[in-house]
Amino acid sequence: MATNRTPQHHPTGPIPDEIIETPAFVIDEAAVIRNLERSLSAAGGAARFMPHVKTHRAPWVTRLLREMGVETFKTATLAEVEMVASCGARSVTLAYPTVNPATVARFAQCAQANPATDFVGMIDSRFGLDVWQAQLKDGPANIRMRVDLDPGFGRTGALMGQAAIDLARALYEAGRFAGWHLYDGHVHGERAERRATVDEEVRAVERLNQRLADEGIAGDLVAGGSYTFDLWPRDVAQYVSPGSWTYSSAQHDIELPELKWEPAAFVLSTVISAHDGTITLDAGAKAIAPDKPLKKRFRTDGEILLMSEEHCVVRTEGPAVGDRLLLMPQHACTTAYLHDRAWVHTASGTWEMREQLGNTR
């Protein structure tokens, strides 16, 4: 299949010449590889890289990462854990402090079935500790646990004081303590501001580590997302875990230009109707994630006026009924979730349909 690289008012990306059904999730593999190379260099190498797979939920991306030397992965759901294990990764972390006994049981079953992979779970409360302990008492030896820390995000994580120390000690006594996990997704702004916040987080982690050391306990740290992973010092964060680098997003080129990430995920849509100064696309909220404000769901020179399940109305001049437009979603992660397959423009220039988890949990 040939490729046309001249979309109208949209960011550049590959469009198959062949007519395929739309809406379609389209990936530029060469851009994913360039994003990966830039991320590995910013992270200081593949051995320190623990990317989040929720961004793509794609076995082929996980295998590509392994080919590039990445062996540790972060996940948010059990389908992602199972997918990473089935790709033969050395280590998979469920970076979600579930307290659901059924979820923990499924995690333990997956660990049992994949003895060559290290499985890492996470807690941020006594309640979570008790749920996990019940499963782990006689559970598989290849499960270790991290204490999730709250660096001020206010989403999950134990307070970075006595509460965290108590959980770490309990895991250590159970022979399962791997270390800390800290996700600082609330940190945005200019690089200097982000650096200052990370410096404060580093000091808080160092205080915790000192207290653990006094008790003869040691653990490592997985920290950071896209906005902070290249600011965490290596001696404090042994692993860094950005996720949205894979396909990048409509904000990265503006807010993180130093990383030079490129958009790599698009939704190909067709203009199905045209009115006075508006067009209607066949990509609605079931093709492009509706978790951003309406006008920012994808980048366009026009104005998004309405998005319903299967339609999107844009005020714009130019495109006519039958035209195909390549849309760059603002939030590629949640858009990937809406598609169980992608049209991939491969690094060698061919087109392949590849499967991904879509919305399987």
Ligand X SMILES: Cc1ncc(COP(=O)(O)O)c(C=O)c1O
Between residues 24 and 149, which has the closer beta carbon with respect to ligand X?
149
Nearest distance from C-beta of residue 122 to ligand X, angstroms: 9
Name the nearest CA neighbour of 71 among 55, 82, 86, 84: 84
Name the nearest CA neighbour of 323 among 257, 279, 270: 270
Q: 190-220 burial by CB neighbour count: b if 16+ within 10 A, else e?
A: eeeebeebbeebbebbeebbebbeeeebebe
Between residues 22 and 241, which has the closer beta carbon with respect to ligand X?
241
Which CB contacts under 8 angstroms, 24+ apart, belong to 307-313? 308/284, 309/284, 309/285, 310/282, 310/284, 310/286, 311/272, 311/280, 311/281, 311/282, 311/284, 312/269, 312/280, 312/281, 312/283, 312/284, 312/288, 313/278, 313/279, 313/280, 313/281
Using CA atoms, how far apart are residues 16 and 314, in angstroms rounded to an integer? 23
Between residues 95 and 307, which has the closer beta carbon with respect to ligand X?
95
Nearest distance from C-beta of residue 184 to ligand X, angstroms: 9
Beta bridge partner(s), residue 28? 345
- Using Cβ positions, the residue closest to ligand X within the complex turns out to be 225
Nearest distance from C-beta of residue 236 to ligand X, angstroms: 17
* Residues of the shown chain interacting with ligand X in the complex, contacts defined by CB under 6 A: 52, 74, 95, 183, 185, 225-226, 241-244
Nearest distance from C-beta of residue 244 to ligand X, angstroms: 4
Between residues 70 and 95, which has the closer beta carbon with respect to ligand X?
95
Between residues 114 and 241, which has the closer beta carbon with respect to ligand X?
241
Nearest distance from C-beta of residue 298 to ligand X, angstroms: 18
Nearest distance from C-beta of residue 95 to ligand X, angstroms: 4
Between residues 14 and 225, which has the closer beta carbon with respect to ligand X?
225
